[in-house]
Amino acid sequence: MLTIPSAKSQQTGFTLLEVLLALVIFAMLSLSAYAVLQGVMRNDEVSREKITRLSELQRAFATLARDFTQVIPRPTRINGETSTILFQAERFKLGSEDGAVTLVRAGWFNPGGELRRSELQKVGYRLRQQTLERLTYIYPDAVTGTEPTATPLLSRVTAFSLRFYNNGQWLTQWITPDELPAAVEITITAEDYGTIRRLFLLTGTSDTASSGSRE
């Protein structure tokens, strides 16, 4: 008796070649998706690093601005001895590997005078192991042998230098520590951003100082 095969019996499965081809296509799509994901993750990491670095730079220069724009002509004792030094800046001082500076600033917040200190603060800056450090003292007239507190301010710094504006000219050295310069130009060389300069007026504004702040 002749029988006609049904439609169900005529259906066949995938061949081995078709299965292998599908696996290869799926693997290629997976590798492409993984590469895209890795690229997105790398870009996100780089973006976060850039944002963190920019925030570090902004905090550093904001701190420098607060200190230098609030400088006051207040001498401090050196090793317990009275001195007339108001502003001291010299390379390789304070254990620095490049420029260094010491000053006294006002405006150190002391709400209601609750802390046993004044609103004057002696601060300094130095470069140590490619890190710009801010040095702080509890009292302007530190007791002999008192070491300052060093706070890392900016990393990956290869050079730190200062210039000083006084009597219509820019000076690379400040040789009159019993006076305050009219303005200070700070130059920081960073590994990733190169040379960055900022000008801070200490004793009032000056058009001449502003125009001469760039070489």
User: pTM for this structure?
Assistant: 0.74
Centre a 10 Å sphere on the Cβ of residue 148 and count the other Cβ atoms it contains. 18
Average pLDDT in the 181-200 region?
A: 95
114 has pLDDT over 70:
no
Q: Which amino acid is at 95?
A: G
Task: Take residue 29 and report the two structure tokens written for it.
Answer: 């799509």
Domains and CATH numbers, the chain: 64-201 (3.10.610.10)
- Assign 3-class secondary structure to the chain: CCCCCCHHHHCCCCCHHHHHHHHHHHHHHHHHHHHHHHHHHHHHHHHHHHHHHHHHHHHHHHHHHHHHCCECCCCCCECCECCCCCCEECCCHHHCCCCCEEEEECCCCCHHHCCCCCCCEEEEEEEECCEEEEEECCCCCCCCCCCCEEEEEEECEEEEEEEEEECCEEECCCCCCCCCCCEEEEEEEECCCEEEEEEEECCCCCHHHHHCCCC
> What confidence tier does 206 reach under pLDDT thresholds 50, 70, 90?
very low
CA distance 180 to 200: 12
Calculate what percentage of the chain has a pLDDT beyond 90: 49
Task: Take residue 60 and report the two structure tokens written for it.
Answer: 């550093």
Average pLDDT in the 23-35 region?
A: 82
C-alpha pair distances (Å), 19 with each of 23, 33, 170: 6, 21, 79
The tens digit of pLDDT for each residue in 81-108 reads 778 889 999 999 999 999 999 999 987 7
> What confidence tier does 113 reach under pLDDT thresholds 50, 70, 90?
low
